[in-house]
Amino acid sequence: MRVETAELHDVLVFRPSPHRDARGFFTRTFDAEVAAAHGLDPASFVQDSQSRSSRGTLRGLHGRARGGEAKLVRCARGAILDVIVDARPESPTFGRHQGFTLDDEQHCVLYVPRGFLHGFQVLSEVADICYRIDRPHDSTDDVSVRYDDPDLAITWPLPVDTLSPRDESAGSWREMSAGHVVG
């Protein structure tokens, strides 16, 4: 498994080496030793979740208040454009975003540190996204920023077909960053 650094400070991309043959493939999606060698505490990830969405669906941009949450994100079925925004005021990449294609062919796992906003859009007919987070989810800490916020100027590849009511009513980057809510 190769590990690469991303453009955004502290973000990692884990690139496994799938073994393919006539039966299909086998790949390791998490390796505690590799994670530890890159500064992550494998024991800190306490909760796994999965979502399924259809083509064009956009989820995000979501974050957590009161310390944020770190997460490992992968796409187990289909393909997504995964976008993260650095919402850590002390970070050299504060306010910048980066997109990553996650899919069921390359099997990359994205490490998103605490203090980031996270969202994705489904590129395939259906996508299953798996999250491993470092603290139990508490909905009272949920923070949302509009996916189409003009200050962030994120380019999404497809028209946005489906949004949750939470995402439709999300606040602006300017309001959230002025209050230093995430992380």
Mind telling me the catalytic residues? 62, 131
Amino acid at 115: G
**At 12, which helix (H) or strand (E)?**
strand 12-15
Cβ 157 vs Cβ 183: under 8 Å: no
Question: Which residues face 82 on adjacent strands?
Answer: 100, 120
Beta strands in 23-163 (DSSP E): 24-26, 47-54, 58-64, 71-77, 79-86, 97-103, 109-112, 116-122, 126-133, 142-144
Cβ pair 53, 88 in contact under 8 A: no
Cβ contacts of 109 within 8 Å, gap of 6 or more: 13, 14, 16, 29, 30, 72, 73, 74
